[in-house]
Amino acid sequence: MTISERDKNYLWHPLTQHKTHPENLAITTASGAVFTDEHGKQYVDGIASWYTCMYGHCNPYITKKLQDQLNVLDHVIFSGLTHEPAVRLSEMLIGILPEGQEKLFFSDNGSTAVEVAIKMSLQYHFNQSSKRNTIIAFEDGFHGDTFGAMSVSGLSVYNGPFEDFFLNVKRIPVPDGTNNKEVLAKFRSLLETEAVASFIFEPLVQGAAGMKMYDAEGLEALMVLAREFGVLNIADEVMTGFGKTGTLFATDQLQVKPDMICLSKALTAGMLPMAVTSCSSDVYQAFYSRDLGKGFFHGHTYTANPLACTAAIAGIELLLSEEFQGHIQRIKSMHLDFDKRIKNLPGVRATRQLGVIYALDLDVEMERYGDLRQNLYNYFMSRGAFLRPLGNTIYILAPYTTTKAQMEVLYTAIEGVLEKVPVAG
């Protein structure tokens, strides 16, 4: 039996209705921007496997560092103990994170990074004898699948069965440059009438919403107002972090800096699960006490795993290198050229770009995971392009190492959709 056939026996895959989509493609090897299935067919990974493998699959520099670390220290608990990879990573991260980030708390993935930030924001006020139980978030945001992260997410396709159990969350539209005053007014009204602990947002780009890009000045105005009311600003950079928006972090493009930042995905170059929630000294000091009850009693078994920390260190070294900064600029330029080719073609409703993130909306209404979307996905796979449309949005967020020829595989597959796949009606 093939791997794909054996897969059906016991496995339950994410974001999958197995009754209607029983097949899962078996991947056997990966290198750079390409992975290969069990039949030998190759695919260009146009989304860096959910925005993680930004330095390329099986990057030899990172894998060598991991091999060396594996012979020294594999894992040790992080409660009462520490180790060099975690300390070294903390020094590197604080050195590159936006101004004001002073402390780091490790967890396992993007959802837990957000979960930590939410719990910190609630306890931050609790520790100061101020009970605040409301969080403000953007409409159509996505922050993860654990309960706190789901609560602040606004995409009902993921949250529907659980919404009766959520935290108290109020939502506002994203500022798009035309509605900034109205959004700010609604935000102020909530701050004045609710006991708001924190404001959480994906800075500049809402990933799962279809790479929805919005106004930086509008976001900054909200952050300033939040601070006036003693509300903590939480930037969820799980998707945007580590160079994707053209700067090391999306919040580097803001004049106002957040109180907390959530990191994961490309943090470890896609090699191993790990996440970080960073915070300001002010946040940390609210927990720093002789009162044991004011401590942050949250922990994960694999917190600050030495191997994951080692992968993160190697990834950051690559990110800061002249070579990879050149890769980022090269892909940005290729996207600009592609946009000129495609933006006025029939079937294209809109296009947008920020850094290495490129997205276009098809001029058609379609369900996020409906049959038409599946047809698009199947077509892309037939062309050797691993792209996962978000409803009628097709986006590219490929590894920085993706070559010009490999990018052309993605570009021509998208052009082929407009020419050959019926998208009307």
| Cα torsion 381, 383, 389, 392: sign | negative
DSSP letter (8 states) at residue 311: H
Tokens coding 296: 């942050």
Element (H, E) at 416: helix 404-420
Domains within the chain, CATH numbers bracketed: 3-58+322-420 (3.90.1150.10), 73-319 (3.40.640.10)
| CA–CA distance, 398 with 47 (Å, rounded to integer) | 5
In the prediction, which pLDDT does 165 show?
Answer: 85
| Residue bearing tokens 């604080």 | 94
Q: Are 136 and 165 in contact (CB under 8 A)?
A: no
For 146, counting Cβ atoms within 10 Å of its Cβ (0-12 exposed, 13-18 middle, 19+ buried), the class is middle
Close Cβ partners of 208 (under 8 Å, ≥ 6 residues apart): 142, 155, 390
- CA atoms within 13 Å, Cβ hemisphere of 196: 27
The predicted pLDDT at position 423 comes to 47
Closest-CA residue to 239 (of 258, 277, 265)? 265
> What's the pTM?
0.96
- Contacts with 384 (C-beta within 8 Å, 6 or more apart), sequence order: 41, 42, 43, 44, 409, 413
pLDDT tens, per residue, the chain with 425 residues: 999 999 999 999 988 888 888 889 999 999 999 999 999 999 999 999 999 999 999 999 999 999 999 999 999 999 999 999 999 999 999 999 999 999 999 999 999 999 999 999 999 999 999 999 999 999 999 999 999 999 999 876 667 788 888 899 999 999 999 999 999 999 999 999 999 999 999 999 999 999 999 999 999 999 999 999 999 999 999 999 999 999 999 999 999 999 999 999 999 999 999 999 999 999 999 999 999 999 999 999 999 999 999 999 999 999 999 999 999 999 999 999 999 999 999 999 999 999 999 999 999 887 777 788 888 999 999 999 999 999 899 999 999 999 999 999 999 999 999 986 554 44
Q: DSSP secondary-structure letter at 266?
A: G
